[in-house]
Amino acid sequence: MLNIVILAAGMGKRMKSELPKVLHRLAGKPMLTHVIEASQRLEPAATVIVVGHGADQVQQHYGAHTGLAFALQQPQLGTGHAVQQAVPLLKTSDSPQDLTLILYGDVPLVSTATLAAMRTLQHSQPDSVVLLTVELDDPGGYGRIIRNTQGQIQRIVEHKDANAEALAVKEVNTGILLAPTAALTQWLAALRNDNAQGEYYLTDIIEMAVSAGRPVLAAHPAADWETLGVNSRRQQAELERIYQRAQADQLLDAGVTLADPARIDIRGTLRCGHDVFIDVGCVFIGEVELGDGVQIGPNCVLRNVALAAGTEVRAFSHLHGATVGQDAIIGPYARLRPGAKLADNTHIGNFVEVKNAVIGQGSKANHLSYVGDAVIGAGVNLGAGTITCNYDGVNKHQTVIGDQAFIGSGSQLVAPITIGDGATVAAGTTLTKDAPANQLTLTRIQQVSKPDWQRPMKKGPPR
């Protein structure tokens, strides 16, 4: 049985924010969410989040998330004290194999693979404690891993309590720890705060484990940046770029062409087929799927979108909640909103907005149009400036356009309305009644020119 404890009580003074530190975003999600998602893939029996500063905000944010429990640390007296608050919420059984994994809400990028490797290592010696450690050229303020002459871990010395010999050690403690739950609970109860900070250090349990004859093993992350924490806006920005570069490298390794790997942001999951090209400055949010040969132009934003093979999205287009068929052309400067469903070979051009509309195969709206709450057949041409007038101030209404219809420029289609197959609506028409199939429909008044008309003159002296 596995328990997860995530420490998320810190104030984060250097963030200079009223928002709890763990709710600050990285790659589009709160840092704490990254940690929760990585750890939940291990299928724990219990996940306890230790909150403190901004506890109400944190609990409110995750209130709808099932499987989470919260423990309040108040006052905040160190990492050992924080884990003590979680102990009553841990799941236990009679099995000595019950384990507790301790993570940190401001260390957002630790991977499930690294955590699983820690558990595998612990299973190799079931009475052991496993630490996640890294070797750093500049260990900074990290606690140092102290080993004996046989290379066995003996204790962790916090930076502020370290002498010159300990400060020379390059191997450091990341704080991430896996231990048998029963033993961990006993060690937590025995912690003392006679140190430079007057705090209860979680790291002191390592000496207790060694004294009890339990092996202390070191696991290592797949990448050192998995263990980096965030304590300031600068560190947040630096870790964002590290993460984004790692995502870009995965895409490159998978065969995606990126115009510049340093200028892409993935805030969710991006799945790509073969021979996909992504230009600079693009942002991918939520679940995005790009089929084979998809081309994404510069400075586009795609949120929860699926594009089929061969589709091209041109510069400065925004797509949200849309599905697009094969060989479509979107943009430049196009906007697809939720519910937009485009078939194969459709064209949505510059300054065209589509919302909650189905557009049939080969249909086009190339210029300056709004298409909302509509069902449009195959082979339809919407001229520049076409508007589906779908909102009466209270309710939305639907426009239906049949196959092969032609809608002239500057037309206003006042819904609810149906335009038949093969119909032609003349330019400048305001349509308030259904237009029959295979006929021309227009609404115009007689054009009048007034030869004696004079343009008004400005009153007073010119400015």
Show which of 199, 227, 255 is a domain's final residue.
Answer: 227
In the three-class reduction of DSSP (H, G, I as helix; E, B as strand; rest coil), residue 320 is classed as: strand
Confidence of residue 161 (pLDDT cuts 50, 70, 90): confident
Q: What is the pLDDT of residue 197?
A: 82
Query: Mind listing the pLDDT tens digit for each residue in 349-380?
Result: 999 999 999 999 999 999 999 999 999 999 99
| Residues with Cβ within 8 Å of residue 87, at least 6 apart in sequence | 185, 188
Q: What is the pLDDT of residue 94?
A: 76
258 and 180 co-located in one domain: no
Whole-number Å distance between alpha carbons of 114 and 220? 7
Q: What is the pLDDT of residue 60?
A: 95
299 and 417 co-located in one domain: yes
Is the whole-model pTM more than 0.85? yes
For residue 11, what are its two tokens?
């104030």
The number of helix segments (H) and strand segments (E) in the chain equals 8, 36
Q: Interhelix angle for 31-40 vs 112-124, to 10°?
A: 50
- Rounded mean pLDDT of 333-349? 98
Looking at per-residue pLDDT, the higher value among 462 and 73 belongs to 73
Residue 167 sits in a domain whose CATH number is: 3.90.550.10
Percent of the residues in the chain that have a pLDDT greater than 90, as a whole number: 90
Q: What is the pLDDT of residue 396?
A: 96
Residue 457 belongs to a domain: no
Whole-number Å distance between alpha carbons of 12 and 10? 6
- Rounded mean pLDDT of 407-432? 97
Q: Annotate 401-463 with DSSP letters as a single string.
A: E-TT-EE-TT-EEESSEEE-TT-EE-TT-EE-S-B-TTSEE---PPP---TT--PPPPPSS--
Show which of 191, 211, 227 is a domain's final residue.
Answer: 227
82 within 8 A of 73, measured Cβ to Cβ: yes
Q: Rounded mean pLDDT of the chain?
A: 95
Query: Mind listing the pLDDT tens digit for each residue in 33-89?
Result: 999 999 999 999 999 999 999 999 999 999 877 789 999 999 999 999 999 999 999
- Residue 93's domain comprises 2-227
For residue 94, what are its two tokens?
């009679």
177 and 243 co-located in one domain: no
Does residue 404 carry a pLDDT above 70?
yes
Using alpha carbons, select from 141, 287, 122, 136 the residue that is nearest to residue 209.
Answer: 122
Show which of 174, 199, 227 is a domain's final residue.
Answer: 227
For residue 97, what are its two tokens?
């194999």
- Rounded mean pLDDT of 97-103? 96
Q: What is the pLDDT of residue 27?
A: 97
179 and 202 co-located in one domain: yes
How deeply is 395 buried, as exposed, middle or buried, from its count of CB atoms within 10 A (0-12, 13-18, 19+)?
exposed
- Rounded mean pLDDT of 424-452? 94
363 and 380 co-located in one domain: yes
Residue 446 belongs to a domain: no
83 and 190 co-located in one domain: yes
| Residues with Cβ within 8 Å of residue 453, at least 6 apart in sequence | none
Confidence of residue 462 (pLDDT cuts 50, 70, 90): low
Whole-number Å distance between alpha carbons of 217 and 96? 18
- Rounded mean pLDDT of 84-97? 91
221 and 288 co-located in one domain: no
Whole-number Å distance between alpha carbons of 358 and 184? 58
Residue 36 belongs to a domain: yes
- Rounded mean pLDDT of 174-180? 96
265 and 370 co-located in one domain: yes
The DSSP element (H or E) to which 291 belongs, if any, is: none
The HSE-up count of residue 404 (CA atoms within 13 Å, CB side) is: 7
Whole-number Å distance between alpha carbons of 205 and 194? 14
240 and 208 co-located in one domain: no
268 and 169 co-located in one domain: no
Confidence of residue 460 (pLDDT cuts 50, 70, 90): confident
Q: Which residues are catalytic?
A: 367
Label the pairing between strands 347-350 and 329-330. parallel
Query: Mind listing the pLDDT tens digit for each residue in 110-154?
Result: 999 999 999 999 999 999 999 999 999 988 889 999 999 999 999
345 within 8 A of 362, measured Cβ to Cβ: yes
64 and 135 co-located in one domain: yes
Residue 455 belongs to a domain: no
Residue 447 belongs to a domain: no
Residue 258 sits in a domain whose CATH number is: 2.160.10.10
Confidence of residue 445 (pLDDT cuts 50, 70, 90): confident
Residue 458 belongs to a domain: no
Q: What is the pLDDT of residue 390?
A: 96
| Residues with Cβ within 8 Å of residue 307, at least 6 apart in sequence | 289, 290, 291, 294, 313, 319, 323, 324, 328
- Rounded mean pLDDT of 217-236? 95
Number of domains present in the structure of the chain: 2
Query: CB neighbours (10 Å) of residue 94?
Result: 6
- Rounded mean pLDDT of 223-251? 96
Residue 104 belongs to a domain: yes
Looking at per-residue pLDDT, the higher value among 335 and 159 belongs to 335
Q: What is the pLDDT of residue 463?
A: 61
